[in-house]
Amino acid sequence: MDYFYYCKEELYCEDVPVSRIAEQVGTPAYIYSSRTVQEHFHKLKKAFSAPGRAPLICYSLKANSNLAICRLLKSAGAGFDVVSGGELFRTLSIGADPAKIVFAGVGKSIAEIKYALQNNILMFNTESFQEILNINLVAQRLNKTARISMRINPDVEPHTHKYLTTAKEETKFGFTIPDAYKIINMLNRFQRVKLVGLHTHIGSQILQITPYLKALKKVLPMIDECRRLGHPVEYLDIGGGFGIYYRGEEAKPAAKFARAILPLVRKAGCRLIMEPGRFIVGNAGILVTKVIAVKETNRKCFVICDAGMNTLIRPSLYDAYHRIEPVRKMKDERIKMRADVVGPVCESGDFLGKDRQLPPVKAGDYLSVFSAGAYGYSMVSNYNSRPRPAEVLVSGNRYKVTTRAERYDDLIRLENK
Ligand code: LLP
């Protein structure tokens, strides 16, 4: 469910015609629907709330760290899942409650640990023995006690892209169960860390429920064992990963996941933490791009756009499919062309879509790349010295440029002249 729809052949975001934004703001541009963000958040929260027990939803801002979106989610009651000092800085800059911030990631530096401890975040989701040692040391220096959880790698197959798989033993993430037990058994020696939770995040863009259940069946018994060893485990963080559909259908309802997962979690007697990213923002954003040229060769037709792998890297990096349609549709939808929709970057891997059926488009037309709200702008680069695009947030019949497009002088801003 989202608020991008066609009315009289014209694409709208909520009540605003997308072509109007493209004309006024320029392209490429990311356009987000605030209502879609809010509804996805509420759907998830409602689905996973048991009577008297709401989950703590820590929005994973790596999916989209736009401050305006983070503010919307903060007002809705969200906490945040951060993976770097920079992400923590973003959340603190909007006045997020540190007691709702969890910090994940395999490589937290001493400086990042210090920054997070000074700001009293809820907990560190730890991923290595060295990290626990470092947290203990920094906490000692600051005369604090750090709340930690341990990220468990339960070795399950989430059936997603291999780069989005994070809980197979061969991935770098978390502790294997035997390793976790070894550490849990000696944690009492570290005076400045307190084990308050267990964490697992099995991957991203997961459309099946079974991998979650398999992971939980391995992690849940560990909670009792931790408690038996004197660790007050209060939180179970099941990570993120709920998939969305990229081909136009509805995403799997959150309620379906909840019905399967909640009964297991309830038995653990923990507060549930979730770290959704894509589920909340994925369908809430589009990328609007302008056609620069249409080029036919002997072999193919190319629709060359002003957005490419520098603007949206998912097709190039994961072979990800994003629906692409003109912002203004033709009355007669039967006439189609087949083309690769490509960007301006000097690499053959620079494409937004391959072998797509499109109505005949021409230079100057706007195209919308759908489901681009997650891992779109947050993975933008300046490759080929192309300025970053603008970000626009629509609410009802109003829109706001929340991030201006970069200019050429932004490109050399950080270099010593
Ligand atoms: N928690 C942790 C510890 C994570 O590593 C991630 C994502 C999430 C939560 C949020 O996952 P989500 O709910 O968004 O699936 N760039 C890739 C996705 C990488 C996901 C990395 N970790 C893409 O464009 O598909």
Examine residue 417 and state whether it is found in any structural domain, yes or no: no
Residue-wise pLDDT tens digits, 246-256: 997 666 788 99
Q: Which pLDDT score is estimated for 51? A: 80
Domain hosting 307: range is 4-32+282-411
Q: Tell me the pLDDT tens digit for each residue of 202-252.
A: 999 999 999 999 999 999 999 999 999 999 999 999 999 999 989 976 667
369: which strand partners? 287, 324
pLDDT on residue 239: 97
Same domain, 277 and 300: no
SS3 (DSSP) at 68: helix
Domain CATH for 81: 3.20.20.10
Is the pLDDT reported for residue 394 higher than 80? Answer: yes
Nearest ligand 1 atom to the CA of 282 is 14
In this structure, the answer to whether residues 28 and 142 fall within a common structural domain is no
Q: Are residues 217 and 100 in the same domain?
A: yes
CA 103: distance to chain centroid? 15
Shared domain check, 80 and 209: yes
300, 206: one domain: no
- Mean per-residue pLDDT over the chain, rounded: 95
User: Which is more confidently placed, 134 or 168?
Assistant: 134
Tell me, yes or no, whether 114 and 227 share the same domain.
yes
**Confidence (pLDDT) at 53:** 87
325 within some domain: yes
Residue 50 lies in a domain: yes
Residue-level pLDDT at 251: 62
**Is 223 found in the same domain as 172?**
yes
CA of 172 to the centre of ligand 1 (A): 14
Same domain, 255 and 358: no
Q: Provide the number of structural domains found in the chain.
A: 2
Return the axis-axis angle of helices 67-75 and 34-47, rounded to nearest 10°: 40
- Model confidence at 87, in pLDDT bands (50, 70, 90)? very high
Task: Please say which residue of 233, 252, 281 terminates a domain.
Answer: 281
Is there a single domain that holds both residue 322 and residue 215?
A: no
CATH of the domain at 363: 2.40.37.10
Q: Are residues 121 and 94 in the same domain?
A: yes
Region 402-413: what's the mean pLDDT? 98
Which residue, 281, 304, 329, sits at the end of a domain? 281
What's the pLDDT score for residue 163? 84
Average pLDDT over residues 325-329: 96
Q: Which is more confidently placed, 169 or 355?
A: 355
C-alpha 205 to ligand 1 mean position (Å): 8
Contact status, residue 305 vs residue 290, Cβ threshold 8 Å: yes
**Is 416 within a domain?**
no
Pocket test for ligand 1, best of 64, 149, 204, 377 (most atoms within 8 A of CB): 204
Q: Which long-range contacts (CB under 8 A, 24 or more apart) does 89-97 make?
A: 89/115, 90/61, 90/65, 91/61, 92/119, 93/67, 94/67, 94/70, 96/70
From the CA of 83, how far away is ligand 1's center (Å)?
10
Say whether 70 is catalytic.
Answer: no
